[in-house]
Structure 1
């Protein structure tokens, strides 16, 4: 008997800082469905009491004991949190077929007074992430996994009473190779919180809470029970009791890392990009909104990998952009370089960032005119990328947006037709054209909340006519224009969470994400 789990989160990147404007809705990255036991009838929500250790604080009282009249916690202080955990695990599954939990929600309620001293003056929101330990039990065997990258939108801290955070994110699949019911139990919970001021994160003030279930009775921490019959009837053996508490996988029980998450460069290359943000492609504010002035900021130096696919409509063929299987280019970023808010009228808030990305050559193979195999390399020349995220209007009708726009040109070279080289010269290229990619907020898969968290962006481009193509007096401009140029050429990019070199160091080294759709090559 084997139970296989895929640990949530990417290698060496367990936490994601989310920067989101106050009053933004909770936006979660979903899980791409596939064959297997799908979460179609969610398990009941479980409420568990946790004790969260408060880290030491420079202004802690000298006695080291909690003082209910002092909002400044001391090292060793614990806060009692009420945590509601919801899953969408199926009630039954089949041996050898992956169980896909869908999105997980972790709603945490903490006493605000115990955290007030960690918030800088002017804090008007909190963002962050959570990772939840999960123990899987089947019969006498158990294994541990981590559901990480559970992210929260900004939450406005109340002046007193309770701070509530809602974390949401995809959980990894679990595969049971033999019949026998399995139970899932919640174990440790880690929260990383980042204060926000006008939507801009105070990364130097970020702090972490490590929490453990307050009650040791495993029955109080069970998240789900899944029946796994052998296919001939309800012969699965119920699990006897609860996890043994050792946390060590038994023989024949393994938890394997998630496939994606290969790290690339050690850190971000200096300096971060400079320039003026291009705001021409932004959605319009609601009628009656009066915008305040642009508020410049020094910005947060960061970097991230972004990989994707580009489709040539006329050829009905795609090529990989910034191939993750090779040596992809690293996007250098100045995050949160400016913000803008409304002064009156309907709600509006926006954060602008600037990026630079030198793409390596892409390779493409397609059938020209439907029958002749053609291979070619494509070089891209990118201008600075403006990435803007924000929210228009208020919940439940809030309209979040994510826009990345830049100018680009491309050059074709190393062309072969049916294996025979075609000399197109050194400067077979297009003029510059605009590429604008937008986040899709109608889908739960890969929503792009901000440049720090990353996600999916997609759009179409109009490829202009080619010029400079040919050698030895032969003009091939019209050939390439006829075969490639035109409107409606799709682009979809997947950006990983950004590495912030620090201090504090977060999400480093940068991670190379998978291609959209889960492909890696």
Structure 2
């Protein structure tokens, strides 16, 4: 607002920011100290200023005198306005003002006047900074003052006055009076998030309104979108959707050379959580809820055909119905004003979740899942700096389309059944139905609607409602995604004698290998939400001084180790953490194992996937664990000094013979680790 214009003509499009897609919990406005017929405002705030060289912190103090009360039809004019800006000396260097002896200029301060939940912006321009000497050391203190516009009051109700963005135009000069640069330097500063930017609260009395009252009808509205479909306390999952693809949403093409598999519906559900941003408002809101999921609605397969097509093709189409809780978060209106609201998201029809990738899960090719859904958004409980604003019960954005993707190769990875990270951007459409007594649709649309709004969701593993699925991997009721590992970090595990049998085929122990000791070094992630297939890495793993029987005896002493490091540590894909016994089944993955001695070396490569599996059983929180080498593959790169029975292409396998050798592969770890499945409980 400026120049005494009325409340209904001063609103700018930036005020629509209160309509944030994602928002919550305002700050309580403070009041100045009343002295007779006036009240003094004296507020110090932390600001961040944007310089060409980067952001700097500053302190801004705003002082002014306001009337103690107001009356409808009478103007309110702040008097004695002074803005004191304290900048570090590095600010002058960042503005190419090195060598300045004095600085002067002007300050423009944005303010927000909110009455009855209706905000109005007014600018305090042209506050003068007199020529000020730059001290030899310490910060630079600039004081700006001058007259500011009055505000016309048209109705009763408290007026909350807050300050915000500050624009500083500096004119640094050298000792001889010449300018330090070709033009004046401009700086934009905004209050730090979390600052209470309120200057004063001015009660305005009138018929039907006592001081301190606010507009009726603020907040309220329709019930949560989950209310009509909320699950009963004894149900594992929210209501299931129909097992049908949403044909209103785009689907990827189906290659001509694939076959459609018989439908195998798997009803399930999963937790979801994450956040979404409103780009224009520099704000975000948490998201949390559950999704009913039906897997196997439609699938298309092309079997691998080496060498032309070693990976094959698999397209799996699934559907989901998501129920998100009402979300709240804080964002900034005008780039500075704490504004809050409650958002409800309702999914319109099924979401399609389509995964496309290779047949083998261990292929080097990625499996990418695309989730597409249409949603409706409603806003209510809107507050500006703690003051309610009545937007009515039907303030909504038009239906919007959300497209999220997840990758099996990312960290966190994503597969529909295992969960993980989904992310994407969305375009917020226009708003309608906003406002009571006045139309706020265009304002909300101008400040909020637009492209580039980031969304990130973490889905937990599904809870299958039918079938004999391992509850350690697919827990019911649903749990959050990922492990919590304590303390994590570097570890070292050592063993005594390790015994394997090695043979040309499974179950034929024609060769025996005994290693007197081995060592494993690695690093585990620490914290919560850790991807189950990326718990950590093995940086070193070596079986030392090994000797063999049969044809391996001629090798003398040899070592066994991975041919490529680091190795990924994951939980076992079908066993995981048994929460009854505390046993965690792990898997180390490597392309090959290498056997080497002074005169012979050869690699063992998996024959049915791109990686070799080394399994381990770890009693949760203990110091002892067991490693089982279960490599089945073929020999590669056999050197000339090896026995003739070891030739490239022949099958070979390592097996820990736990039945005969009870101490085989038993390790002691230096730092006990605790694993919890499902991340941090809500």
TM-score under structure 1 length normalisation: 0.43
TM-score under structure 2 length normalisation: 0.33
Identify the structure with the greater strand proportion: 2
**Structure ranking higher on relative contact order (CA contacts 8 Å, 6+ apart):** 1
